[in-house]
């Protein structure tokens, strides 16, 4: 009766209960023994029809639950299939559990086998990427570290297509590793746009250098005639000089960024004292600090000798100190500290300026990005300074950290490996 009620529904379950009651008493009449009084008939009828009714109700709820679940699954499938990225979920061992249509399509296009764990399938196409050895090593690391969150890019040989993969572990309610989410995105168009942009920047920068050289040359010639100019003429000449220098710095920054992106940044390494580099940078920035009526001080706690490129490290400090001065108002202060800590030379530049919103700090080292605190106050800049600083520091094997609070100030700390030799190059 329960099975009939579940399968047929409540009405048919009740009818089946009544039919079963009739069949029971028909059987009693044939056999010749068994209770046939009205109370027994009523009890059995109520019991069997009730069983059929409640089984039918339970069956309807089960069918509605199953229908709702199928609808939800269909919506979830439609949702992940409509994503631009390929997405899949695996267990901790990498066995595929769920995948969406874009991932299945990309897997076919890349020539991945339809069997094995996800790391094994990715490893199977290692000969089709531009750097197979690095790719194989990375896939082995992924297989051995199921709880790691990673992001990688690889380029396909022949087609030139570039893909970006991202993985993140998934934990259950007990914080036990339950699996891993994998995503794969075709970023070929983005990388081509980056190459075109870099090429454009490099081309424009080179084209600007020639007229700037001519302008600078004529400005030097005009310097000899400056005494014969009127006051207005001399003020015009000052504006031209300042604008020319600013444009020259911009062009040099653009060219340096192009070198960094092409991984052609070269360093002339030699032992040097960070305290001396910092002292020169502070001295160069003092006129700007005095003009803005703020305090700029150097605190050299014994100095630190590092293996570095003097001109590039001067550029790092010039950028950091000029930023601090630029974003600090009158009456504020900028402190530059040099020290040796744990086998590293450490330079920190702190200010009491406008600070940077926490939501924007991760993007500060992106090209052309400028914080909202700078754009709201119309503070001039290109958004290239910190990009250059980080590249130079990392090229030296160092690290850079930024700590800022909006409205209170910013501290940038650079740490560089101490030189093996303790003598400073003359």
Domain 270-417 has CATH 3.30.2350.10: no
Cα gap 331→189, rounded to integer Å = 49
Block mean pLDDT (10 aa), the chain, length 426: 52 61 59 58 61 62 72 76 87 90 90 89 90 89 87 88 91 89 89 75 72 83 80 84 80 76 77 90 90 90 82 90 89 91 88 86 75 71 79 89 88 86 44
CB 303 within 8 A of CB 340: yes
CATH architecture of the domain 86-186 equals: 2-Layer Sandwich (3.30)
Cα gap 88→80, rounded to integer Å = 9
CB 1 within 8 A of CB 52: yes
CB 328 within 8 A of CB 334: yes
Question: Which pTM was predicted?
Answer: 0.52
| DSSP H or E run through 400 | strand 399-405
Cα gap 112→167, rounded to integer Å = 18
270-417 shares the fold of 86-186? no
Q: Where are the beta strands (DSSP E) in 66-215?
A: 86-90, 96-99, 150-155, 162-171, 177-186
3-state secondary structure of 164: strand
The domain ranges of the chain are 2-81, 86-186, 191-261, 270-417
How many helical (H) and strand (E) elements, i.e. helices and strands, does the chain have? 12, 12
pLDDT reported for residue 426: 41
pLDDT reported for residue 184: 92
Give the residue among 146, 356, 392, 358 at the shortest CA–CA distance from 269: 392
Strand-pair category, 295-300 with 333-341: parallel
CB 167 within 8 A of CB 182: yes
Domain 191-261 has CATH 1.10.287.130: yes
pLDDT reported for residue 424: 42
CB 407 within 8 A of CB 354: yes
> What is the CB neighbour count within 10 angstroms for residue 307?
19
Cα gap 365→370, rounded to integer Å = 9
**Which residues, 6+ apart, have CB-to-CB distance to 309 below 8 Å?**
267, 268, 269, 270, 392, 396
| DSSP H or E run through 221 | helix 188-224
């Amino acid at each position: 009766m329960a099975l009939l009620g579940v399968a047929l529904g409540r009405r048919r379950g009740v009818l089946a209960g009544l039919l079963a009651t009739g069949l029971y008493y028909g059987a009693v009449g044939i056999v010749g023994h068994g209770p046939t009084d009205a109370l027994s008939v009523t009890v059995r009828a109520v019991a069997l029809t009730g069983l059929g009714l409640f089984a039918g109700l339970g069956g309807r709820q089960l069918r509605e639950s199953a229908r709702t679940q199928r609808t939800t699954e269909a919506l979830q499938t439609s949702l992940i299939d409509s994503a631009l990225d390929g997405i899949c979920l695996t267990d901790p061992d990498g066995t595929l559990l769920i995948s969406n249509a874009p991932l299945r399509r990309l897997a076919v296009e890349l020539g991945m086998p339809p069997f094995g764990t996800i790391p094994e399938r990715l490893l199977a196409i290692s000969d089709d990427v531009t750097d197979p050895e690095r790719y194989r090593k990375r896939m082995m690391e992924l297989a051995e570290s199921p709880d790691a969150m990673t992001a990688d890019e690889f380029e396909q040989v022949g087609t030139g297509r570039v893909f970006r993969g991202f993985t993140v572990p998934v934990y259950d309610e007990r914080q036990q590793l339950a699996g891993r989410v994998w995503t794969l995105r075709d970023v070929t168009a983005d990388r081509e746009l980056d190459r075109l942009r870099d090429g454009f920047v490099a081309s424009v920068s080179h084209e600007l250098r020639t007229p700037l050289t001519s302008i600078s040359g004529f400005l030097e010639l005009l310097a000899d005639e400056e005494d014969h100019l009127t006051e207005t003429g001399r003020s015009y000449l000052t504006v031209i000089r300042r604008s020319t220098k600013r444009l020259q710095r911009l062009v040099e920054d653009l060219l340096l960024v192009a070198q960094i992106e092409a991984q052609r940044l070269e360093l002339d390494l030699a032992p040097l004292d960070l305290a001396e580099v910092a002292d020169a940078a502070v001295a160069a920035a003092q006129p700007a600090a005095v003009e803005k009526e703020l305090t700029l001080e150097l605190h050299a706690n014994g100095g630190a000798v590092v293996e570095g490129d003097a001109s590039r490290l001067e550029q790092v400090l010039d950028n950091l100190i000029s930023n601090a001065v630029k974003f600090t108002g009158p009456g504020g202060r900028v402190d530059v500290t040099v020290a040796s800590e744990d086998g590293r030379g450490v330079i920190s530049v702190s200010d009491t300026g406008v600070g940077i919103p926490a939501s924007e700090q991760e993007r500060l080292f992106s090209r052309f990005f400028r914080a909202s605190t700078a754009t709201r106050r119309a503070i001039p800049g290109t958004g290239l300074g910190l990009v250059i600083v980080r590249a130079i520091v990392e090229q030296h094997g160092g690290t850079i950290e930024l700590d800022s609070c909006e409205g209170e100030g910013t501290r940038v700390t650079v740490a560089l490996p101490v030189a093996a030799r303790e003598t400073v190059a003359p």
